[in-house]
Amino acid sequence: MRALKRWLAVVLAGGLAGEAVRAEPSAQPVLQVDYPFPTADKPQSKTWFSHGCWWAVLPRLAGPSLWQRTGTGWVEHTEVRAALAGVPGRADVWWDGESATAVSAADRIIRVFRLRPLAADARLWQAEVLATLPAPADDAIETITLARDPGGLWWIATAVQEKIFAWSSRDGAQWSPPETIGRGIEADDICTVAPLREGVGVIWSDQKHETVNLRVHRTGRPATAWEAVEVVQAGDRNADDHLHAVLATDGTLWVATKNSVDAVGEPQLVLRVRSPEGRWRNVPYGRLTADDSVSRPTVALAPDGAVWLGHSVYREKIRSEIVFGTVDLASAELLHAPRAVIAPEAALHARVNDPTGPKGVFPEHGAWLVLASDAAGRVYEADLRAPGKP
């Protein structure tokens, strides 16, 4: 009630006078699981919007869990947890309008699974493991991502043992052998696979050679027929193992990344924009200060054409927040009106991290939802359409 009164006071004082209402950032978790930082890993997407509400696949110690955002809060669909017990929990999820296909990995095992609503109201879901794939190299897998090309072919990609691997599948159950599409990177580097207008692309960091790279597979070509490696940027310590990519409806690829400059006063993040014709533009942002550092960049798309950039901000080494702003490529600052949308209250002693949103465009009607989490497994949410609104 106190929060509601405070919000109404802001509306009466500012909103009715024609001024913008500056809402408070989200401070309380909306759900909790028994897994630290459940919205990780860095390139992955955990959420989608369907049947008039938001859904999320989050890890538990027992495996993946499905959550629904209802009018009274987040509710878990326990039938999914039971069906997927033992499957690695940290998953990248793709909603295709009828079902959610996901890929997850732990140690040296990769699992592909699918969630399908059993009725029009999505009250119950069927969960099915489609495939189990061995790791392509004798090393643990840090993270893995999934995409679907314009021809309907599924792709997964991962970085392991200083190489980049990709698989393809027509149905999500039968997969091609892993194709090595990059090599000679650092053990710490990662990759992400994203749809392109002409097919799919795998983007990866190469800290050893100070490059960010892209390799394209064109729709309709044999699974092994990849284009030559395309260097997005080289030199100046521009690579780090933080990547997240989304494709706009006009064919523009937006990639949020981190660099390895790590110098006070210098930008730590880079927005990389690939035009529909394949031309790149690299725009640095997010300066390091003596007290604050930025990390875990992510990008999201609104139906009105706005591009939202988010990241974690570590403040004074004891606090953290999730900050979002819209992109203005004509401005020297890049981010327009950046503000904290998630900031856990001090009593929680929480360092929030790993913002995540959907792979596609935010819904025309509904919240523009992003999630983040902390080491205790608490998950926080923010609505970018109306951030912090009670």
Cα 234 from Cα 206, distance rounded (Å): 9
* Tally of residues, the chain: 390
Structure-token match 């930082």, residue found: 37
Q: How confident is the model at residue 2 (pLDDT cuts 50, 70, 90)?
A: very low
CA–CA separation, 365 vs 115, rounded Å? 23
Residue 1 predicted with pLDDT over 70: no
Question: How many Å is the maximal CA-CA distance in the chain?
Answer: 64
Euclidean distance between the first and the last CA atom of the chain, given in angstroms as a whole number: 10
Q: What is the pLDDT of residues 118-173, one digit of tens each?
A: 999 999 999 999 999 998 988 889 999 999 999 999 999 999 999 999 999 999 99
The string of pLDDT tens digits covering residues 28-39 is 999 999 999 999
| pTM to 2 decimal places | 0.92
389 pLDDT more than 60: no
pLDDT digits (tens, 9 = 90+) for 290-348: 999 999 999 999 999 999 999 999 987 678 999 999 999 999 899 999 999 999 999 99
What residues have CB less than 8 Å from 14, skipping those under 6 apart? 20, 21, 22
Query: Residue 23's pLDDT is what?
Result: 64
Q: Quick one: which of 256, 262, 273, 259 has its CA closest to 354?
A: 256
Q: Distance from CA of residue 288 to its chain's centroid?
A: 22
The pLDDT tens digits of the residues spanning 245-269 come to 999 999 999 999 999 999 999 999 9
SS3 of residue 3 by DSSP: helix
